[in-house]
């Protein structure tokens, strides 16, 4: 297989997954650019791409996005991005106040906690795969995921309406 053929096969097999990863974390227009950057890097480092291609590409995408955010006030930028966009793109979030609370709880987490949860919940990776995306050991990831889940549950519980209190369905996600 020539380099060009391998590159095209890589693109055909994983472009959708990389694009989905980027779209879940940034605006659709920027996601296109992120995906292009990822595959340009893949082309330059074609010889380094391991057999576990998807995980490697998602790791590159994560670093491309992180580079883009360098210099931003990260937490605020992510809150701004996550809350309104997710609310807008997830129809169920508009209908179900419980989903809006999930988004708000997610947006309030620390970035490494949130990314650990999203790799499992949205990218549907195993602990070992998610660890490779983050460039850490699987055992370290498991500890991080466990703690992230605990913090997420705590954040979610704090957003639950108190007994007898009316539903907060009208509370906009943008208040974050």
Partner 1 sequence: MNADTIDRLRRVNPVPEDPPAPPLAPLLALRERGLSDPREASRPSAQRSAAWPLNRRRVLALVPIALACALLVLALRGGGGGQFDVAAAVYRAITPGHGVRYVVTDQESDTDGKRTLLHVQRWSTRDPASERSVSLERRNYGRERSVLVEAAIAPGSTWSSWWSGRPGVIEHTKATGTQRDEVAILRAAYRAGRLRVLEKTELNGHSIYRLRVVPPRTGPAARNRATPTDLLVNASTFAPIEVIDYARGPHGRLRPTFVLHYRTFVELPATPANLAHLKLAPHPGAHVMQRG
102/164 with CB nearer partner 1: 102
Residue 70 as a binder of partner 1 (CB under 8 A): the answer is: yes
Beta carbons of 108 and 176 less than 8 angstroms apart: yes
Spatial distance between the Cα atoms of 86 and 171, rounded to a whole number of angstroms: 15
> Could you tell me the two tokens for 92?
């169920």
* C-alpha distance across the termini of the chain, in Å: 50
Residue 153 as a binder of partner 1 (CB under 8 A): the answer is: yes
For the window 4-43, what string marks contact with partner 1 as x by the rule CB under 8 A?
----x--xx--xxx-xx--xx--x-xx-xx-xx--xx--x
Residue 38, Cβ neighbours under 10 Å: how many? 27
Residue 126 as a binder of partner 1 (CB under 8 A): the answer is: no
Spatial distance between the Cα atoms of 176 and 168, rounded to a whole number of angstroms: 14
Beta carbons of 118 and 24 less than 8 angstroms apart: yes
Given candidates 58, 61, 83, 86, which one binds partner 1 under the rule CB under 8 A?
A: 86
> Could you tell me the two tokens for 32?
């296109």
Residue 146 as a binder of partner 1 (CB under 8 A): the answer is: yes
Q: Which of these segments, 55-63, 86-94, 132-140, 158-166, binds partner 1 (CB under 8 A)?
A: 86-94
> Could you tell me the two tokens for 14?
């994983």
Residue 69 as a binder of partner 1 (CB under 8 A): the answer is: yes
Tell which residue, 59, 61, 9, 14, has the closest CA to residue 35.
61
**Binding-site ranges for partner 1 (CB under 8 A):** 2-3, 8, 11-12, 15-17, 19-20, 23-24, 27, 29-30, 32-33, 35-36, 39-40, 43-48, 67-74, 76-77, 80, 85-86, 89-90, 92-93, 96, 98-99, 102-103, 106, 117-118, 120-122, 145-146, 149, 152-153, 156
């Amino acid at each position: 297989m020539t380099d060009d053929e391998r590159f095209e096969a890589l693109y055909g097999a994983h472009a959708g997954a990389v694009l989905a990863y980027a779209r879940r974390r940034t605006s659709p227009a920027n996601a296109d650019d992120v995906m292009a950057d990822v595959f340009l890097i893949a082309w330059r480092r074609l010889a380094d791409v391991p057999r576990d291609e998807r995980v490697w590409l998602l790791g590159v995408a994560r670093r491309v996005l992180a580079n883009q955010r360098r210099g931003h006030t990260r937490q605020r930028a992510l809150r701004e991005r996550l809350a309104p966009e997710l609310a807008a793109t997830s129809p169920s979030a508009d209908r179900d106040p419980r989903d809006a609370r999930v988004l708000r709880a997610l947006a309030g987490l620390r970035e490494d906690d949130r990314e650990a949860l999203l790799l499992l919940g949205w990218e549907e990776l195993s602990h070992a795969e998610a660890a490779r995306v983050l460039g850490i050991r699987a055992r370290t990831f498991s500890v991080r995921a466990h703690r992230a889940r605990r913090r997420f549950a705590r954040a979610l519980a704090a957003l639950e309406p108190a007994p007898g209190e009316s539903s907060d369905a009208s509370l906009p996600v943008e208040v974050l």
